[in-house]
Amino acid sequence: MAVDTLNPRSWLYPTPRGLYCKPGDFYVDPAVAVPRAVITHGHGDHARPGHHSALATPETLAIMRARFEDMPDTDQQPLKYGESVRVGEVDVRFAPAGHILGSAQAVLAYKGQRIVVSGDFKRRPDATCPPFEPVPCDVFITEATFGLPVFRHGDPAAEIARLVGSTTLFPERAHLVGAYALGKAQRLLALLRQAGYDRPIYLHGAWGTFEALLDDAIAASVPVIDAAGAVLDASDRDVAAARAALARVLPPGTIDPDGLDVDVDAPFRVALQPAA
Ligand SMILES: [Zn+2]
């Protein structure tokens, strides 16, 4: 079939299980467990447990191992950014998506046609992952939860300056920041350190799920923690101190709707500047 008559929908199309690539016999970010999955990144609405085989960046596979108990049962196929692998009749490679550690756009090539499935992506700088890379393609498939004009996000540096300024203005007050444990929390930590905030930052226990990643994947690929602070186990005294801390990073669900109380019994971890 000539390229100009190849209908992209004939080889990549939505199904109830997810986006299916017929000549490769795989799904991209499937909604349920499938025989063969290509995963764009580790967030729960894209990476799910139970696949027979999963093709993803090494960082995304590390995140999935941290999240899913059954990952040893999955045939894990790491593919670094820029490398290519043939799956069925389709060439698959990953390009950085700039969203979280390991996040990738799936670049699929078949019979001279190229489709990019972006997954979640972000074009603003993020110290915790490589920047978004535009990839020329015939078809671009994306999702844009916050792409509507109604969503307007402030400049990250200005927002961080507001937060740090407030801790100076109100040193006796605890400052609570809601941030997802995977991705946003690490980015926030990096932004605070980049802004010169060198005080301890108390992290909610949900961070612990990704503790191994902090030690391994993150430290290896983007040294956020090595460069900005060491993560230490919090003692009882640290937990007591966290109640009066100047800045705390918490998953949104742990903050009381009134915004005045938090689950103080949850374990905290403390990010400190490394010893010189
Ligand atoms: Zn995501």
Q: How far is the CA of 117 from the centre of ligand 1 (A)?
A: 13
User: pLDDT at position 209, please?
Assistant: 59
Distance 99 CA to ligand 1 centre (A): 7
The fraction of the chain above a pLDDT of 70, given in percent, is 71
Q: Which of 74, 51, 71 is nearest to 63 (CA)?
A: 71
- pLDDT tens-digit profile of 176-225? 777 777 888 778 877 887 888 877 776 665 665 565 555 444 443 333 33
pLDDT in tens, 8-46: 999 999 999 999 999 999 999 999 999 999 999 999 999
Q: How far is CA 119 from CA 31, 45, 105, 194, 206, in A?
A: 13, 10, 6, 27, 24
Distances (CA, A) of 57 to 137, 143, 183, 210: 21, 20, 15, 16
**Could you give all domains of the chain from N- to C-terminal order, each with its CATH number?**
3-141 (3.60.15.10), 156-272 (3.40.50)
Name the pLDDT band for 126 (thresholds 50, 70, 90). confident
Average pLDDT, the chain: 78
Torsion of CA 248, 189, 124, 64, to 10 degrees: -100
Distance 24 CA to ligand 1 centre (A): 24
What digits encode the pLDDT tens for the residues 49-89?
A: 999 999 999 999 988 988 898 999 999 999 999 999 999 99
- pTM to 2 decimals? 0.77
| Span from the CA of 273 to the centroid of ligand 1 (angstroms) | 28
Half-sphere exposure of 95 (CA within 13 A, CB side): 16
Residue 234 CB burial class (10 angstroms; 0-12, 13-18, ≥19): buried
Residue 262 reports pLDDT greater than 80? no
